[in-house]
Amino acid sequence: MPQPDDHTLRALIAKMSLEEKVGQLFVMHVYGHTATAPDQRDVETNRKELGVDDAAALIARYHLGGIIYFGWAHNTRTPHQIAALSRGIQQAAARALPSGIPVLISVDQEHGAVARVGAPATLLPGAMALGASGSHEHAREAARIAGVELRALGIRQDHAPDADVNVNPANPVIGVRSFGSDPEAVAGFVTAQIEGYRSAGVATAAKHFPGHGDTTDDSHTELPRIDHTREEWERYDAPPFRAAVAAGVDSVMTAHIVVPALDPSGDPATLSHPIVTGVLREELGYDGVVATDSLAMRGVRTKYGDGRVAVLALKAGVDQLLNPPQPQVAWDAVLQAVADGELSEDRVDASVLRVLRMKAGVGLITEDGTAAPDLMAETEPAVGGAAHLAAADRIAEATTTLLSNDDATLPLSPRTHRDVLVVGADPRSPSGTTGPPTSVLADTLTGLGFTATALSTGASPDAALIEKAVAAAEGVDAVLVATYNVATHAATARDHTQAANAALFAALPTGEAGAPDGQAALVAALKATGVPVVALAIRNPYDVARLPHVDAALASYSWTDVELRAAARVIAGRVTPRGRLPVPVRRADDPAQVLYPVGHGLTY
């Protein structure tokens, strides 16, 4: 569809009031599964948090430019419901907004560990799993499928791909959300996913600039600090963002992190003019939309009040304000900043133009500057179709990584290992509609000819649960343990994947390994029974370093059904393991030493 040029978009902006312009810069969540008649509990929560009853009222009050969906906000129950909610939001915008500009509906649908739209939508391997596949084509196809399904639901932007380079195994917020620890490899996958989403007509968002991969703090609850030198930032953090800009990414999301080498002020990147304007716009040459990460996160709220944060973000060069925790406070502060001359209306207009370009790019605005006549031409039957599900299985089969396999324990065969006990962690599914992992693994193995039973022991099993698992292992032929971020008190080291890295980071911590957590104790107790023990890391692949005595170890990089089913097929020998580590695994007792390097992966 032909898109409007800047002249047409500027003519639209010229007709807007200041309030309408400011509204285009806000992206907010709202509780409820419908636009105008949510459940009473959602009405009450909306009144308390947002000062309105529902999505329609939110749009009308703030002349809202964007809405982001979340499962916890009860926006994503079923494909039919999501499509109806999107339709209702656009109808409300058509009624309430003088400009008539549609709302840009977005979601965090990274897949893997972060998925807001669950089954029956197609759930695909996440970033690190795709990195393990080594295939840009898989990454491109996964993004295309995700984009087609989101667009069918009225969602025109995905806050993906993650462009962070995960160089720190202790990173509590990125981990498997990253494609890996090699900057150039991550850059290639970021480019492929941008291409895939674009082919589906869905806008992308590279995150979290200037790079969240080497933090030990979570910006949801703290203000992390990254002490990379400028040279280190250029080498490790910048390449994926440079690649995203070159690929024409639609938006870049900022990180709530302090990077003194880029801005010594102590302000988070989201509020930093030197970082957003100086580095991203001027040095990297990016002129698309810059969006904040959620302004409700603690990392951006440690220094300034919520109103001031919104103003400082815009002054830094940001265009979209995502999820301000006190929307009226942020809205009033921005309007007051314009009235006081702290922000010029021309500065606001520049951000609105970027936002409208992005909306036009995904077909929300026609060539003549009017709202697209049929924003829901696609229908929800496009979601979760047989071809998409088959593609997800095929992609997942290329990701499972076999890390160790003593005495050719794997593959298991129903002839020699018919009775299998599946124990371990059962984290809540990212989508809230699949799992639990031990049951998915047991059911899949049973379907492959085994007699498999599931026993959930959780991520922190106590002595009673360990004893119960040991008793259940009596008489079985093999035990499969699903592990979830096995922890010790060992010092951790940043991952440095090339020889040059070691020179830049010479002082790696080496401390002694501490006492293992409950999962490691569970594995040790099961191993003592004499039954073969296979460990499957269902999130970060570093677990194998804390489980030195298992007979075989694998990594699936997430615990959605598609990745677990693929891992079960690998364990059963129905699929040859092809995944290769996209991050190094370091020794738990000496993190300066690499146990398994990038590219490691066994086969049979």
Q: What is the mean pLDDT of residues 188-200?
A: 98
Cβ atoms within 10 Å of 84's Cβ, excluding its own? 18
Cβ atoms within 10 Å of 377's Cβ, excluding its own? 10
Give 410's pLDDT tier (boundaries 50, 70, 90).
very high
Give the range among 59-63, 77-81, 97-101, 162-166 with minimum mean pLDDT: 97-101
Between the alpha carbon of residue 390 and those of residues 244, 312, 384, 562, the distances in Å are 29, 47, 10, 10
Give 504's pLDDT tier (boundaries 50, 70, 90).
very low
Q: Is the pLDDT reported for residue 501 higher than 60?
A: no
Task: Tell me the average pLDDT of the chain.
Answer: 90
What pLDDT is recorded for position 515? Answer: 41
Q: What is the largest CA-CA distance in the chain?
A: 78
Contact 355, 13 (CB under 8 A): no
- The DSSP annotation for 401-432 comes to EEEEEGGG-PSP-TTT--EEEEEE--PPPTTS
Between the alpha carbon of residue 222 and those of residues 174, 253, 326, 454, the distances in Å are 14, 18, 19, 37
Give the range among 214-218, 479-483, 562-566, 576-580 with minimum mean pLDDT: 214-218
What pLDDT is recorded for position 224? Answer: 82
Q: What is the mean pLDDT of residues 387-391?
A: 96
Q: Which residue has the tokens 């409208």?
A: 356
Instruction: Give the integer Cα–Cα distance in Å for 440 and 13.
Output: 52
Q: Is the pLDDT reported for residue 82 higher than 70?
A: yes
**SS3 state of residue 340:** coil
- In CATH, the number for domain 400-596 is 3.40.50.1700
Give the range among 108-117, 130-139, 456-465, 490-499 with minimum mean pLDDT: 490-499
What pLDDT is recorded for position 514? Answer: 37
Between the alpha carbon of residue 408 and those of residues 384, 417, 530, 532, the distances in Å are 37, 13, 16, 11
- The DSSP annotation for 148-194 comes to HHHHHTT--EE---B------TT-SSSGGGSS-S-HHHHHHHHHHHH
Give the range among 229-233, 485-489, 516-520, 590-594 with minimum mean pLDDT: 485-489
Phi-psi region of 584 (alpha: psi -120 to 50; beta: other; left: phi over 0): beta
Between the alpha carbon of residue 498 and those of residues 50, 83, 240, 366, the distances in Å are 49, 46, 17, 48
Report the run of H or E that residue 348 belongs to, with start and end: helix 345-361
220 counts as catalytic: yes
Give the range among 111-120, 450-459, 476-485 with minimum mean pLDDT: 111-120
pTM of the model: 0.91
5 counts as catalytic: no
Give me the torsion for CA of 57, 60, 66, 68, rounded to 10°: 0
Q: Which residues partner with 405 through β-bridges?
A: 552
Give 419's pLDDT tier (boundaries 50, 70, 90).
very high
Q: How would you list the strands of the sheet with 401-405, edge to edge?
A: 401-405, 552-555, 533-537, 478-483, 419-424, 451-456
Q: Active site residue: 220, 273, 332, 419, which one?
A: 220
Give 499's pLDDT tier (boundaries 50, 70, 90).
very low
The residue extents of the domains of the chain are 6-365, 400-596
Contact 227, 281 (CB under 8 A): no
Q: Beta strand pairing status for 594-596 and 451-456?
A: unpaired
What pLDDT is recorded for position 369? Answer: 81
What is the DSSP secondary structure assignment for residue 110, as one 8-state letter?
Answer: E
Residue-wise pLDDT tens digits, 25-59: 999 999 999 999 889 999 999 999 999 999 999 99
What pLDDT is recorded for position 381? Answer: 64
Q: Is the pLDDT reported for residue 123 higher than 60?
A: yes
Q: Is the pLDDT reported for residue 328 higher than 60?
A: yes
Phi, psi (rounded to 5 degrees) for 203: -75, 150
Q: Which residues partner with 115 through β-bridges?
A: 109
What pLDDT is recorded for position 225? Answer: 85
Q: Is the pLDDT reported for residue 511 higher than 50?
A: no
Q: Is the pLDDT reported for residue 445 higher than 90?
A: yes
- The DSSP annotation for 245-295 comes to HHTT-SEEEE---B-TTT-TT---GGG-HIIIIIIIIIIS---SEEE-S-T
The encoded tokens of residue 491 equal 């010092």
Residue-wise pLDDT tens digits, 231-271: 999 999 999 999 999 999 999 999 999 999 999 998 999 99
Contact 256, 300 (CB under 8 A): yes
Residue-wise pLDDT tens digits, 259-268: 999 999 989 9
Instruction: Give the integer Cα–Cα distance in Å for 121 and 313.
Output: 35
Instruction: Give the integer Cα–Cα distance in Å for 10 and 220.
Output: 36
Q: Which residues partner with 454 through β-bridges?
A: 422
The encoded tokens of residue 603 equal 């086969």
Identity of the amino acid at 136? H
What pLDDT is recorded for position 429? Answer: 72
What pLDDT is recorded for position 433? Answer: 61
- In CATH, the number for domain 6-365 is 3.20.20.300
Report the run of H or E that residue 523 belongs to, with start and end: helix 518-527
Between the alpha carbon of residue 261 and those of residues 56, 173, 224, 267, the distances in Å are 44, 22, 14, 12
Q: Is the pLDDT reported for residue 463 higher than 70?
A: yes
Q: Beta strand pairing status for 401-405 and 552-555?
A: antiparallel
Cβ atoms within 10 Å of 264's Cβ, excluding its own? 10
Q: Active site residue: 237, 263, 267, 293, which one?
A: 293
Q: Which residue has the tokens 């990594």?
A: 555
What pLDDT is recorded for position 405? Answer: 97
Give the range among 170-184, 287-301, 486-500, 510-524 with minimum mean pLDDT: 486-500
Q: Which residues partner with 225 through β-bridges?
A: 258
What pLDDT is recorded for position 219? Answer: 64
